[in-house]
Copies of this chain bind each other. A is one copy, B any other.
Amino acid sequence: MRHGRPNVLVTSAGRRGELIEILRQSFAAGGRRASVFTADASALSAAGLVGDGHHVVPRLDDPTYLDVLTRLCDELDVGHVVPTIDTELPLMASAVRHLDNQGTRVWVSGPETIALAQDKRLTNRFLAEHGLPHARQWDLDSLDDFHSLSFPVIAKPARGSSSVGLARVTSSDALSQLRTERGGQDYVVESVARGTEYTVDVLVDRLGTCRASIPRKRLEVRAGEVSKGVTVDRPDLAALAREVVTKLPDAFGVLNVQIFADATGPSAVIEVNARFGGGFPLTYRAGADLPGWLAQDIDLVPPTASLQWAAGLVMLRYDRAVFASADDLGVQT
């Protein structure tokens, strides 16, 4: 069997309904007959109702998680596992070889890239060491002299995501108070980067080459997720993101790089996410079929999926509802 197992499993599927639809469409366009299954610790996953079958699995911190996942991939004939949240990435990276042996490829970077992406201190150090644009950064707990800072500054958890816990701090008094409240919680303090925030979706192939780099601008954020965005023709940002992921030690698959920039160019790389970003549907609908290309790369077949894409596509989002019976989901009414 040349192409290995046919099906796809999206883990920690949660609210990723659009990603499920994209994977289904991308695989079908590539002439593959793939079911897109979902897994989550909760039965109440919106994506679970969009996919071809939802499986409730143990929580990530449960010691049986990987065994259950392995067995599930075997039973469902899964060739591609797509993790979606930061907290599952180290676990997934540790299971790559084991799953590979049974013909299941995990769309995940290696452990060094994941460690680096998940800790803003390591990200910042990596950027500095490679001469890439970055914000000035300090540890909140070990910062001696608040008065030496140029306010405002940004304070955020070193290992946070989705802007949770992020605060814009405008004075040394406010920063002192923040340290009193959040001290010992591994907060970092950063200089404010010039410009506005862009996200660049990138695809890194199995040889570590960056094959696609698509910048989009955030127009509005809601509950930590981009709710309005637009693809932009910014070769400078595309090139910077490509440089970042190429210098990462063991990047693989679809990642995104968050960059502040203005009309004169990028001012700082803020974050690397070693997974599909929440706003990825915009990049896909603009024409960049990253899942299709990645699946072909994994299967060593010549690429037919297009990597052409269009700048100036706007994405607007609303709450889409899916329905099931309380009995089927185990919900008490």
Which A residues form the contact surface with B (CB < 8 A)?
A: 15-18, 44-50, 217, 219-220, 222-223, 225, 227-228, 230-233, 278, 281-282, 285, 311-327, 329, 331, 333
Contacts and interface: CB of A to CB of B under 8 A. Distances in A.
B321 A44 contact: no
A313 B325 contact: yes
Interface centre among A232, A312, A313 (most CB of B within 10 A): A312
- So how many copies of this chain end up in the complex? 2
18 contacts: A15-B317, A15-B318, A18-B319, A46-B316, A46-B317, A50-B318, A217-B333, A219-B331, A227-B319, A231-B333, A282-B323, A312-B325, A312-B326, A314-B323, A314-B326, A314-B329, A314-B331, A320-B320
A179 to B, nearest CB: 19
Nearest to A329: B314
A15 B316 CA distance: 8
A15 B319 contact: yes
A146 B97 CA distance: 62
B319 A323 contact: no
Contacts of A230: 326, 331, 333
Given A44-B219, A222-B223, A230-B333, A317 B314 contact: no
A322 B16 CA distance: 15
A318 B47 contact: yes
B318 A314 contact: no
B326 A317 contact: no
Given A44-B228, A217-B333, A326-B230, A18 B318 contact: yes
Contacts of A223: 222-223
B333 A324 contact: no
B318 A320 contact: yes
Contact of A320 (B17, B49, B327, B331): B17
Contacts of A217: 333
A225 B333 CA distance: 20
B321 A319 contact: no
Q: Which 6 A-B pairs have the closest CB atoms?
A: A320-B320, A17-B318, A46-B316, A223-B223, A46-B318, A312-B326
A282 B319 contact: no
A199 to B, nearest CB: 14
B321 A316 contact: yes
A245 B321 CA distance: 27
Given A44-B314, A45-B316, A314-B329, 12 more contacts: A15-B319, A49-B316, A50-B318, A230-B326, A282-B321, A285-B321, A312-B327, A312-B331, A312-B333, A315-B322, A315-B323, A316-B324
B333 A285 contact: no
Contacts of A325: 312-314
A319 B316 CA distance: 9
A319 B319 contact: yes
Contacts of A282: 321, 323
A281 B318 CA distance: 13
A223 B318 CA distance: 12
